[in-house]
Amino acid sequence: MTTRRVVVITGASSGIGRATAVRLARDGAAVVMCARRADRLEAAAADVRAAGGEALPIVADVTRADEVRRLVDAAVERFEHIDVMVCNAGFGIAGAIDDITPDQMQNLVDVNFMGTYHAVRAVLPIFRRRNRGHVIVVSSIVGKRGVPYMGAYAATKFAQAGLAECLRSEVTGSGIHVTVVFPVSTETEFFDVMSRETGTIVTRARGPRQDASVVADAIARAIDRPVPEVFPHAWSRGLVWLNAAAPGICDRFVQRFGRKPVRPE
């Protein structure tokens, strides 16, 4: 039986998920890591072990409820319990709403929203049995305030936050915590994936950027001291206040954060 903190992270083969896995490994966590690319997942698992953690890489696609259930079952079989579920797997597509195809929209919903839902649904019975556990949902600052050309993606990020907010109010007073993380633009493979998905060059928006390690540190702090919402970039919470107070002014302000896709010549 392990006394390590047991954390399941979806989308742990790169970016924020991988950085979080390695960050938590430094505190000695056991990290159950999922993604679709086996080679990248194995490399991330090796980083976790090198950082002092225990790693259990499981190839799984979060759009498949049965695969997410298998992930959770594997975690419990190996470590007997789960302390934290980080719902992180996701991707983005940039484009004006009328340029996004129904298939692209469906794919975003399947990965970003349904992937989160499947993970939450799979882990909650385990948390409820122990009256203990922590769900962490990685949304985005555009899950609080939309920006131009990110409408389809932002819709899924709002949906994740809505699910988490309702869940948090359902488990208030219990030993189960729910945290939503709202990163700003973060240096990961996210923008490469976005360009690949649309066959466009996605211009990097103006605005604040952060390293994946900053988000990972913020998630690690939230695990130690659970809070409802985490804004890893200090100023980003100001955007939420501005939007609540003056959404019309905010519409003009966020023009600078739009990511207009450009077709290569």
Ligand X SMILES: NC(=O)c1ccc[n+]([C@@H]2O[C@H](COP(=O)([O-])OP(=O)(O)OC[C@H]3O[C@@H](n4cnc5c(N)ncnc54)[C@H](OP(=O)(O)O)[C@@H]3O)[C@@H](O)[C@H]2O)c1
Contact residues for ligand X, defined by CB under 6 A: 10-17, 34-37, 40, 61-63, 88-92, 111, 115, 138, 140, 183, 185-186, 188-190, 193
Catalytic residue among 149, 153, 190, 257: 153
8 Å CB contact between 56 and 25: no
Instruction: Decide whether 27 or 187 has the Cβ nearer to ligand X.
Output: 187
Whole-number minimum distance, CB 238 to ligand X, in Å? 17
Decide the pairing of beta strands 201-202 and 185-187: unpaired
Residue 13 CB, shortest distance to ligand X, in Å, is 4
Which residue, chain included where needed, has tokens 């605005």?
Answer: 207
Pairing of strands 6-10, 229-230: unpaired
DSSP 3-state of 182: coil
| CA contacts within 13 A on the Cβ side of 73 | 7
Residue number, 109 or 128, with CB nearest to ligand X = 109
- The answer to whether residues 153 and 92 touch, using CB atoms and an 8 Å cutoff, is yes
DSSP 8-state assignment for residue 57: E
Which CB atom, from 37 or from 49, has the smaller least distance to ligand X? Answer: 37
CB of 130 to ligand X, least distance (A): 26
- Residue nearest to ligand X according to CB distances in the complex: 15
149 is catalytic: no
Least gap, CB of 9 to ligand X (angstroms): 9
Residue 214 Cβ, how far from ligand X at the closest point, in Å? 11
Q: Which is nearer to ligand X, 70 or 128 (CB)?
A: 70
Phi, psi (5° rounding) for residue 137?
Answer: -110, 120
Taking the least distance from each CB to ligand X, the nearer of 92 and 151 is 92
The tokens of 54 are what? 């225990």
What is the DSSP code string of 11-32? S-SSHHHHHHHHHHHTTT-EEE
| C-alpha torsion angle, residues 188, 193, 194, 199 (rounded to 10) | 140
| Nearer to ligand X (CB atom), residue 74 or residue 132 | 74
Cβ pair 212, 188 in contact under 8 A: yes
Q: Which two tokens stand for residue 190?
A: 């996210």
**Distance (Å, whole) CA 60 – CA 92:** 19
Residue 180: in which H helix or E strand, if any?
strand 176-181
CB of 49 to ligand X, least distance (A): 18
Catalytic (active-site) positions: 153
